[in-house]
Amino acid sequence: MSSLDRKLEKEVAENKEANARYFHDPEYHGHSKLRMRVREIGMALLGVVMGSLATVSIMIPNGLTFGGITGIARIIQNYTNWNYSLVYYALALTVTAIVWIFLGWKEVRKILLMSLTYPIVMFVLEVNNVVIVKSDDLFLVSVFCGVVMGISSGLTFRAGFSSGGTDSLAKVIKFRWLPHLGINDITFAINSIIVIASAFVFGVNIALYAVIIIYMSMRVSEAVMYGLSNKIVELDIIPGDAEALTDFIMNELGRGVSSIEITGEYTGDKRKQLKILCSPRESFLIKRHLAKEDPKSFVSVISVKSVWGVGRGFSDIHKIDG
């Protein structure tokens, strides 16, 4: 056996072990509950620091604004000259109280950490006058601010927490008054109203820069939540020996396989098509196996944004739904 074959065999065994661990323990993946919880809280706190820096050290020094309670706090601060972090703190506690009243403690737990820590970190930055960038080129500043905010949001959601902003208010509105509308649609409507109000307070140009920040933060947040996580690909395979390939994927890699019977219209032959959701590395292992054992197989590879379910690299459907 060549060194490459031995390396491939070792990788196959490691993949099988990891997949088994994720299947039998989908929530903690073999780690202790405490370790996973510490990891989630650490990720959320990193998101808090990033978001606070974006707001206090980038957005405010450049006279910019945003949607959500961040934008509301900016409008209030503009008329009162109060400390921004204290205004934000009051709004965050108000949102927390509304969520508690209408949705209960279960939903409050998701936003409590952010509602308490965000204002504290922002207050420290504000008191110490921490400024990362201040420039006359507001377009570039807006893009940079959106990127940092997007990283913050992505880390927060990946950790299983919520920012406790307009998304929480949107959830209250949906479940209490507008169940036929989506949370994203309601959130968009609320943020649109805030941005329009900002146009009257800060001017149309600043409101347009706010749109840029919101757009960039959304795109980067999605990249952090999905694109930077374990990527998943879908393989649709028409093999020469479906049983042998199924055995390799299930018993050697530890992945699940689905199959359907298809008919080749040109030849009229009936064949079995296999469908596998796996990591890019596992798709390479399958390709290597086919190249060696079944080179006449036909394989199509589809990039998948996210998979909700139980499996290595998949997202917990309960956390996504929550």
Res 156 pLDDT > 80 = yes
* Sheet of 298-304, strands arranged across: 258-263, 270-278, 232-238, 298-304
pLDDT digits 0-9 by tens, 204-215: 999 999 999 999
* C-alpha 82, offset from chain centre: 33
Q: Of 44, 42, 77, give the one whose Cα is nearest residue 59.
A: 77
Residues 6+ apart with CB under 8 A from 269: 263
Residue 315: strand pairing partners: 308
Res 147 pLDDT > 90 = yes
Lowest mean pLDDT among 22-26, 168-172, 282-286, 306-310: 22-26
Residues 6+ apart with CB under 8 A from 99: 107, 108, 111, 164, 168, 171, 172
The confidence score (pLDDT) of residue 103 equals 80
- Domain 3-28+230-305: what homologous superfamily? ACT-like. Chain A, domain 2 (3.30.70.1150)
The confidence score (pLDDT) of residue 119 equals 86
The confidence score (pLDDT) of residue 55 equals 92
Per-residue DSSP letter, 62: G
More confident residue, 207 or 315: 207
Mean pLDDT of 272-276: 91
Tokens of 182: 């989506």
Tokens of 1: 């056996």
Residues 6+ apart with CB under 8 A from 95: 69, 111, 115, 164, 165, 168, 169
Question: In this structure, is the dihedral angle defined by the CA atoms of residues 199, 130, 164 and 40, taken in order, positive or negative?
Answer: positive
Per-residue pLDDT band at 321 (split at 50, 70, 90):
very low
CA–CA distance, 53 with 286 (Å, rounded to integer): 44
3-state secondary structure of 238: strand
Mean pLDDT of 110-122: 84
Per-residue pLDDT band at 193 (split at 50, 70, 90):
very high
Per-residue pLDDT band at 17 (split at 50, 70, 90):
low
Res 143 pLDDT > 90 = yes
Residues 6+ apart with CB under 8 A from 78: 201, 202
CA–CA distance, 230 with 245 (Å, rounded to integer): 24
pLDDT digits 0-9 by tens, 171-184: 888 888 888 877 77
Domain boundaries, the chain: 3-28+230-305, 33-227
Per-residue pLDDT band at 313 (split at 50, 70, 90):
low
- Whole-model pTM above 0.75? no
